[in-house]
């Protein structure tokens, strides 16, 4: 076990985040002292209720906030990431297939690689029957599936996924988790923001618990149990105790 831990500690850092403070307006500090690292093959859960600061943290590390003091480093061979947003974003006049094609072009993915990868994703997410349809007519769950497909189309060093389970039915959730595990086996790191604590507890390697814009605790479930002094506690119990 110690040898495995040492190997895990030596894995390359693919995302290094150090946020001193950030907000949406000058003088309006929403989060502060948020820092963590994601290594190859690791799934780190960014945990907290709505309004805790999870989305602000993600927007900050993506460089979307002007009023931020932060240092973010993306590592890995290609220094690349894929972002899957909570709210679907799409072009109303492009079909699902055209969205996939556009994403592949943006990532510089050759068509001979894009086509089989896209076809496989259509099958895996049960979206083949709407490949030539406009997403404006999709249900919320189908739009979310499209966002996940766009993220999985390429093979980045890091996945940044914001609240992926909203709107997904059980089958789509299972497909998403299976694809995520395959990407982790490949060596991709994953940062996943979620307030679905029971699922996070089952799939995440480690956690950053955020409350009120600050870190309440971080580490593995065992480490967080130790901080909360709940040796058998669930992630929800620990979060409730610490916040």
Alpha helices for the chain (secondary structure H) = 2-10, 54-61, 96-107, 111-124, 140-152, 170-186, 197-203, 221-228, 235-242
Q: Is residue 110 part of a domain?
A: yes
- For position 75, which CATH number holds? 3.40.50.300
Residue-level pLDDT at 9: 53
Compare 97 and 140 and report the one with higher pLDDT: 97
Residue 140, pLDDT score: 85
**Tens digit of each residue's pLDDT (9 = 90 or more) over 209-222:** 999 999 999 999 99
Q: Is the pLDDT of residue 4 over 80?
A: no
Length of the chain: 243
pTM of the model: 0.87
| pLDDT at residue number 6 | 42
**CA torsion 157→175→206→4, rounded to 10°?**
-70
**Integer angstrom CA distances of residue 147 from 59, 72, 168, 227:** 17, 24, 11, 36
Q: What is the mean pLDDT of residues 4-28?
A: 81
pLDDT tens for 165-183 read 887 888 888 888 988 898 9
Regarding whether 148 and 90 lie in a shared domain, the answer is yes
Q: Considering its fold, how many domains does the chain have in total?
A: 2
- 205 and 138 both lie in a single domain: no
Q: Which domain holds residue 134?
A: 83-155
d(CA 41, CA 13): 10
- Residues 65 and 21 both lie in one domain: yes
Q: What pLDDT was estimated at residue 219?
A: 97
- Whether 107 has a pLDDT exceeding 90, the answer reads no
Q: What sign results for the dihedral spanned by CA atoms 117, 120, 125, 128?
A: positive
Name the residue among 220, 82, 202 with its Cα closest to residue 151.
Answer: 82
- Domain-located, residue 178: no
Q: Looking at the structure, tell me whether residues 17 and 88 fall in a common domain.
A: no
pLDDT value, residue 213: 96
Burial of 204 (C-beta count, 10 Å sphere; 0-12/13-18/19+): buried
Query: Has residue 20 been placed in a domain?
Result: yes
Query: Which of 27-36, 160-169, 176-185 has the highest mean predicted lDDT (pLDDT)?
Result: 27-36
Q: Please tell me the distance from the alpha carbon of residue 21 to that of residue 77, in angstroms, as a whole number.
A: 29
Distance CA 147, CA 115 (A): 17
């Amino acid at each position: 076990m110690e040898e495995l831990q040492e190997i895990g500690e030596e894995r390359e850092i693919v995302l290094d985040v150090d946020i001193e403070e950030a907000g949406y307006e000058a003088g309006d500090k929403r989060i502060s002292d948020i820092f963590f690292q994601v290594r190859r093959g690791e799934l780190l859960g960014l945990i907290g209720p709505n309004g805790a600061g999870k989305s602000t943290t993600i927007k900050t590390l993506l460089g979307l906030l002007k009023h931020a003091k932060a240092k973010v480093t993306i590592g890995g061979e290609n220094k690349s990431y894929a972002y899957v947003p909570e709210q679907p974003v799409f072009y109303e006049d492009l079909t699902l297939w055209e969205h996939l094609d556009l994403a592949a072009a943006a990532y510089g993915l050759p068509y001979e690689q894009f086509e089989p990868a896209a076809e496989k994703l259509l099958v895996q997410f049960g979206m083949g029957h709407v490949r030539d349809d406009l997403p404006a007519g999709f249900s919320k769950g189908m739009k979310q599936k499209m966002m996940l497909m766009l993220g999985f189309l390429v093979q980045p060093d890091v996945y940044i996924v914001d609240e992926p389970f909203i709107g997904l039915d059980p089958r789509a959730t299972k497909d998403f988790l299976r694809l995520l595990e395959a990407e982790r086996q490949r060596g991709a790191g994953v940062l996943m923001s979620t307030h679905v604590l029971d699922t996070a507890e089952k799939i995440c390697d480690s956690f950053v618990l955020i409350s009120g814009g600050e870190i309440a605790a971080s580490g593995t479930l065992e480490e967080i149990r130790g901080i909360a002094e709940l040796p058998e506690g669930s992630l929800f119990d620990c979060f409730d105790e610490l916040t």
